[in-house]
Structure 1
Amino acid sequence: MKTFGGPALFLDRADINTDEIIPAKYLTEITKEDLKPYILEDLKLPGFDPKGEKTKDSRVIVSRSNFGCGSSREHAPWVFEVNDINAVIAESFARIFRQNMFNCGMAALELPKEKLDLLFGYAGFADTAIAVDIEDQKIMVKGGGKEESISFEISPFDKALVLAGGWVDYADSKY
């Protein structure tokens, strides 16, 4: 089974759209791997460098509400997948982006604002890492000598998709 977690990238803004996740000019690339260097290229946040080590090393993204809004392209989850980011945690997601994440076997986890604010309390620590236990529905965050465990909800079907590795693997095992 896939491991969910690792160093965290905190993107403290709502409404991060699919054009900021992977700019439309790269949608003509032939393979998922070709998308890799363009992750978050057009995202503008103070102090954020899409080509920086923090972005390259991160395995989990923590953001605010309406993450993945914009067009319904699968390329947005794909660019996370090829960059080994397999979990995004936010207050809410655009519906199609969220389902594309699950269909690709990745976790799109929603937390209420209070729990999300608790996670953002770890944003300033250089050693912050987040582990996601899909089976037990727990997020463990460590950083700055502190640690927390946060429960999350996920539908049984979405959980099954993630645990199977995505829609294709799920369908292969069921049909």
Structure 2
Amino acid sequence: MDKFTTITGVAAPMPLINVDTDMIIPKQFLKTIKRSGLGVNLFDEMRYDDDGGEVPDFVLNQPAYRDAQILVAGDNFGCGSSREHAPWALLDFGIRCVIAPSFADIFYNNCFKNGILPIALPQEQVDRIMEDARNGENARITVDLEAQEVWLTDGSRIPFEVDSFKRRCLLEGLDDVGLTLEKAPAIEAFESRMQGERPWV
């Protein structure tokens, strides 16, 4: 998993509430177990019309936001079914951070396990970031995980809080496998000891 320390880039404004995981990545794209290749179908039913053409008004189809790394969303983002394909699709598109007033719990935790930083902030602070994001390429927002701050274009900073363990995992690029591998010497020592004590096992 890639480390997350600081990112600076364009933030895409999506002021929709209750964006569920089926909206993020529709069910027909859940056949794969690969984490790559899903970005093209991110928000598929909103991004494309019935003929497969892009919907010009959808934010991620607009030139200013095609390379957005930050998504500023509405309340209860990631609700619905617990599909891990949702953060996979966001990450494959290039989204490394989602800022919203609240998140569904399973989606929130899945983000950390896949290298995405979800930031929950009060509505009025999300509104400030959303307004900045509407300036498109003229607005470069910075998210600093080490300092736990969002820096707006005017230089103002909005602090946020993240669980210390989840923060460490992102800063060090540790997913569940990486956390297990940190214990490799202890696991190997235990297995060696058990082989001596219980060779029949």
Query: How would you bin the TM-score normalised by the shorter chain?
Result: 0.7 to 0.9
Gaps of 5+ in 2: 48-54, 185-201
| Aligned residue among 2, 8, 12 for 1:9 | 12
Question: Considering only CA atoms, is the larger Rg found in Structure 1 or Structure 2?
Answer: 2
Q: Unaligned regions of 5+ residues in structure 1, if any?
A: none
1:162 to 160, 167, 170: 170
Equivalent in 81, 89, 98 of residue 99 of structure 2: 89
Letter in 1 for 2:18: D
Looking at secondary structure, tell me which structure has more strand per residue: 1
Q: CA RMSD in A?
A: 2.2
1:14-163 correspondence runs (5 A): 14-43=17-46, 47-126=57-136, 127-142=138-153, 146-163=154-171
| Structure number with higher helix proportion | 2
Question: Number of residue pairs matched?
Answer: 172
SS at match of 2:147: coil
Instruction: For residues 39-71 of structure 1, give each alpha carbon's deviation from its aligned partner in whole angstroms, at most 9, with x where no partner exists.
Output: 111237993154443443100000111000011
- Measure how far apart 1:109 and its partner are: 0.5
- Maintained 8 Å contact 2:12/2:134: no
Relative contact order (alpha carbons < 8 A, sep ≥ 6): 1 or 2 greater?
2
Could you tell me the TM-score, scaled by structure 1's length?
0.88
TM-score, length of structure 2 as denominator length = 0.77
The sequence identity of aligned pairs, in percent, is 34
SS of the aligned residue for 1:121 comes to helix
| Secondary structure in 2 matching 1:31 | coil
Q: Distance in 2 between matches of 1:174 and 1:54?
A: 44
Which aligned segments of 4 or more residues in structure 1 are displaced greater than 6 angstroms? none
Tell me if structure 1 keeps the 8 A contact 2:12–2:59: no
1:171 matched residue in structure 2: 180
